[in-house]
Amino acid sequence: MDSLFTAAVAGLSAGGAYAILGVCAIFTYRLVAVVNFTGAAIGAAGTFAMVALFELGMPLLLAVLFGVAAGALAGLAIGLVMTTWFAGSNASTKAAVTAALLVGIIAVGLRLTGGQHPHYFPEIIPGSAFRLAGVEVTWAAVTTLVLSVAFTLLTEQFLARTRTGLQLRALSQRPMAAELIGIRVRLLALGVWAVTGGVTAFALMIIAPLRSPDFASLSLLVVPALAAALIGAFSSFRAALIGGVMIGLLEGSVSAIGPVSQYRGAVPFLVILAVLLWSQRGARWDEAR
Amino acid sequence: MTTFSIGALQVDRSGIPVIRGVDLEAKGGEISVLLGSNGAGKTTFLESLSGIIPVRSGFINLDGVELAKLRPGARAKTGLSHVEQGRTVFPAMTTEENLKVALHPDADLKEAYDLFPELLQRRNVEAGMLSGGEQQMVVIARSIVNRPRVILIDEMSSGLAPVIVSRLMRAVRQLADDGIAVVLVEQFAALALAIGNRAYVLRRGQIVYDGDCAALARDPAHLHRLYLGDAAA
C-alpha cells in the first residue's frame, strides 16, 4: 500500500504537466476552434531548444527562457499555417491538419535531435519540497501543480475580465462577426498559439527528465493532454485541470502494480475510452428505447 | 458628409458571376434601400462590400478611401459596419458584453441603450437567450457603438413579428437622421421604401432601378415588374 502511495505521489509532476497541457488544449479549442494534436510537439521543440543551448554551455535559466521563446515561436509557426490556409475550414479538417503536422514535426524533430541519441535533460527545478506521509514530494511536482492551478485561474479571469479576453470569446463564438466589428482576429489567434506554445514548452521542460528523452515520446504527450481536455469536455478548464492531475496519479499508481506496470502508458487511452463511453451513455439509452 | 460609392462592381461565387457591374452611392443622412427577389444577389453584394467575399473588379470607396483590397477588419476600422442576416449575436456573452466588445473609444454604451431602451433591463442576460427581436436590437446596437459612418443591414426583419419590424425600422431611420449612411436590404419592400430615400432594385446581379423611394412606393406594379423582369409580362 505504501509503495502504491509513493508511486501515486511520483505521478504528481506528470499530472501537473498533463493538466497544463490539457488546459492549453482547451484554450486552443475554445478560442481558435482547433483540436490541436501538435500541442506537445510544439512544447517538445521548445524543450529540445533549451537542451541544445544548455549543452552548448548557456546558463540554465537563460536556456529555459530561450526554450520557452522557441516554444512560442513554434506555436506561432503552426498558428500561421492554420490562420493562413485553414481559417475557414471546419473543425474536423483543422484537427486532421494538426495530426498531419504532428507526424511532420516528429519526423523533423527526430532528425534534428539525433533520433534516439541520448541528451542530458537538466532538472530545472531540482530537489525535495517536503515529505507527505513519509513520501518525498519534489519541487518539480509542486511547481507543475501550482503552475497548472495558476494557469487555469489566470486563463478564466483573463477571459472574463479583460477586453482582450472579451474579444477572444467573441472570436471563438463567431469569427466573422468578430472581424466585422474590427477585432484583429488573426493577431489574437496567433497570440493564442504563441502563448500555448510557450506554456507547453515550460511544462514539458519540468517533466522531461522523468520521461524517455526523445522528441517523439515528448510529442506523444498530446495523448494525456487530450484525455485531460476530454474530461473537461473541451470546455471546462477546471475539469481539465483535475482530470490531468488524476491521470498523472493513476499512471503513477499503475506503475507500482507489478503485472500491469508496463502498461502505464496506456492509462490515457483508457481514460479517453472511458470518457467517450460515458459521454455517449445518453445516446445508447435513447437507442435502446 | 459621408459618401460611400461603389462602381462597376463584379463579384463571382464559385467562378459564376453573381454581381455584374453594379454602381451604387449612399450618402450620410440617407437610407439607400436595396430590393430584389430571392437569388438576385443582394446578400452577396453586401458581403463583398464588407469583405466577407472578394470582389473580382470595380471599386468600393468610403470618403476617398479605397476598400476593395482591404480585409473585413480593416474596412470596419475605416467606418464600415455590416449587420449580417441571421442575428449574429455572440450567444454565450451577455447583452452588455456584446456591446462592450465592439465599443469604440469615443463611444458610450448609453448610445446603444438610448436607441433601444428595452435592452437595458436585459443587459446581464446571455444574448443567446434573448428573443429574436432583442437579438436584432443587440446586433444593430453593437454596430452603433463601433462608431460607423456606413451601416449595411441585411434582412433584419427576417422571422420577426411586424410590430418588432416597425420598431427596428424606426431605429434605422433614426440612425440615418444622426448622419450615418445606411444601405438597407429588406424583404418587406413597402416598409423599407417608407423610411428610405433612394431605392435600388437588383435583378440577376444588375441594378435595374435607381431612383426615389417615394416614387417606387407609389407604383407597386412597377416594383413588381422590376422584381420579375420579363416574367411579369
Q: Quick one: pLDDT at residue B150?
A: 97
Q: Quick one: pLDDT at residue A127?
A: 83
Query: Is residue A27 within 8 Å of A92, Cβ to Cβ?
Result: no
Question: In the predicted model, is pLDDT for residue A1 greater than 60?
Answer: no
Burial of residue B16, with CB atoms counted within 10 A of its CB: 0-12 exposed, 13-18 middle, 19 or more buried: exposed
Q: Among partner residues A169, A182, A184, which is closest to B90 by beta-carbon distance?
A: A169
Task: Tell me the shortest Cα–Cα distance from A79 to chain B, in angstroms.
Answer: 19
- Which tens digits make up the pLDDT trace of B117-162? 999 999 999 999 999 999 999 999 999 999 999 999 999 988 888 8
Question: In the predicted model, is pLDDT for residue A288 greater than 70?
Answer: no
Task: Tell me the shortest Cα–Cα distance from B99 to chain A, in angstroms.
Answer: 10
- Which tens digits make up the pLDDT trace of B173-207? 999 999 999 999 998 899 999 999 999 999 999 99
Q: Quick one: pLDDT at residue A289?
A: 54
Mapped to the 3 state alphabet, what secondary structure does chain B carry?
CCEEEEEEEEEEECCEEEEEEEEEEEECCCEEEEECCCCCCHHHHHHHHHCCCCCCEEEEEECCEECCCCCHHHHHHCCEEEECCCCCCCCCCEHHHHHHCCCCCCCCHHHHHHHCHHHHHHCCCEHHHCCHHHHHHHHHHHHHCCCCCEEEEECCCCCCCHHHHHHHHHHHHHHHHCCCEEEEECCCHHHHHHHCCEEEEEECCEEEEEEEHHHHHCCHHHHHHHHHHHHHC
Domains and CATH numbers, chain A: 2-288 (1.10.3470)
Residues in chain A within 8 Å Cβ distance of B52: 176, 180
- Which tens digits make up the pLDDT trace of A157-189? 999 999 999 999 998 889 899 999 999 888 999
Instruction: Report the residue of chain A nearest B96, measured CA to CA.
Output: A166
Asked if the Cβ–Cβ distance from A179 to B82 is below 8 Å, we say no
Instruction: Report the residue of chain B nearest A177, measured CA to CA.
Output: B88
Q: Among partner residues B72, B82, B97, which is closest to A166 by beta-carbon distance?
A: B97
Question: In the predicted model, is pLDDT for residue B233 greater than 70?
Answer: no
User: In sequence order, what are the residues at sequence separation of 6 or more whose Cβ sits closer than 8 angstroms to the Cβ of residue A77?
Assistant: none
**Position A82 confidence tier, pLDDT thresholds 50, 70, 90:** very high
Instruction: Report the residue of chain A nearest B145, measured CA to CA.
Output: A181
Task: Tell me the shortest Cα–Cα distance from A179 to chain B, in angstroms.
Answer: 5
- Which tens digits make up the pLDDT trace of A215-271? 998 999 999 999 999 888 888 999 999 999 988 888 888 877 777 777 777 777 788
Nearest to A251 by CA among A229, A209, A219, A223: A223
Q: Quick one: pLDDT at residue A263?
A: 75
Residues A3-11, mean pLDDT to the nearest whole number:
77
In terms of average pLDDT, the best of A10-19, A76-85, A133-142 is A76-85
Question: In the predicted model, is pLDDT for residue B232 greater than 70?
Answer: no
Type of residue found at B116? F
